[in-house]
């Protein structure tokens, strides 16, 4: 979603009044509804700034990546709540109702969201925790991706984005198959939100076939993005930006191929070179 804003544009030292398309950023309050002592309880777990589209995919992907849900049947209902507000007439609250949730540790869940969204995380502690949480192991040998395809991904990603060409101010994440076909692409002002939307959509619609798929992102590759790929059992992650040290450490520990600085004629392999075909 985008909106027009009046702007003064300078070009060759000459100002002109123009209308600029700008990506919309709005808060989304995320609420988990669960049972405790046979009574339904609503807990607000997080407020994130997002692009108002695919909100259901966003919250499903987030809960899946945090290990709160393991199958789509864990969710009874997803609904937008509240009056439409603000200049864009939006509902900015979404609630997920979880079935069979008597043992949900909501305090632990809130701590996870708070830590991940604000002050960062202790690398070793988080990796140790992921070792316990992840039920499946990444296959070290697949997918196999041609190096000639990797250099085409930034252009394929850009061409698949509907909003970036209009605003230039939005991130994208996409699930590709090994032949370079974009299966799912989502955009958001937050790069983590964009990937959560991809994972939520794939999880909800049973699209994952991770032996033959990989994820591409438009920005920097952080620890959280590698963590989300790991939780989705995707062993191949690439981005046009730089990876962080902790992202590389996590990818190496869990045998994920991590590629950064992807351009039309070059890319850097930080780990998992065995999955790349010459």
Which residue numbers are catalytic? 119
DSSP 137: P
Q: Report the length, in residues, of the chain.
A: 278
Angle at 244 between CA 57 and CA 45, to 5 degrees: 35
Nearest CA to 33 out of 78, 86, 91, 87 is that of 78
**SS3 assignment, position 26:** strand
Across-strand partners of 99?
none
Residue among 79, 86, 94, 83 at smallest CA distance from 3: 86
Sign of CA dihedral 56, 190, 92, 159: negative
Contact call for residues 119 and 252 (beta carbons, < 8 A): no
Query: Which residues, including other chains, have CB under 8 Å from residue 97's CB and lie 6 or more apart?
Result: 33, 34, 40, 75, 76, 77, 78, 79
Counting Cα atoms < 13 Å in the Cβ hemisphere of 217 gives 31
CB atoms within 10 A of CB 53: 15
């Amino acid at each position: 979603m985008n909106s027009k804003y009046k702007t003064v544009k300078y070009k060759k030292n000459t100002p002109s009044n123009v209308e600029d398309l700008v990506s919309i950023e709005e808060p989304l309050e995320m609420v988990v509804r669960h049972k405790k002592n046979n009574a339904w309880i609503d807990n607000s777990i997080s407020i994130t700034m997002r692009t108002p589209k695919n909100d259901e995919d966003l919250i499903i992907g987030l809960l899946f990546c945090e290990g709160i849900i393991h199958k789509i049947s864990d969710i009874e209902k997803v609904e937008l709540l509240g009056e439409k507000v603000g200049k864009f007439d939006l509902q900015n609250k979404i609630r997920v109702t979880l079935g069979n949730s008597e043992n949900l540790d909501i305090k632990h869940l809130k701590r996870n969201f708070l830590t991940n969204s604000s002050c960062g995380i202790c690398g070793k502690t988080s990796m140790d925790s992921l070792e316990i949480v992840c039920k499946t192991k990444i296959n070290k040998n697949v997918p196999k991706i041609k190096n000639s395809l990797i250099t085409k991904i930034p252009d394929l990603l850009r061409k698949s984005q509907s909003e970036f060409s209009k605003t230039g101010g939005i991130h994208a994440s996409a699930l590709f198959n090994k032949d370079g076909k974009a299966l799912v692409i989502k955009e958001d002002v937050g790069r983590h939100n964009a990937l959560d939307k991809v994972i939520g959509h794939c999880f909800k619609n049973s699209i994952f076939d991770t032996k033959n798929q990989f994820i591409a992102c438009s920005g920097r590759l952080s620890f959280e993005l590698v963590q989300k790929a790991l939780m989705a059992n995707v062993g191949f992650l690439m981005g046009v930006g730089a990876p962080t040290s902790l992202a590389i450490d996590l990818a190496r520990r869990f045998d994920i191929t991590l590629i950064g600085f992807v351009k039309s004629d070059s890319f850097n392999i930080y780990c998992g070179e065995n999955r790349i075909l010459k």
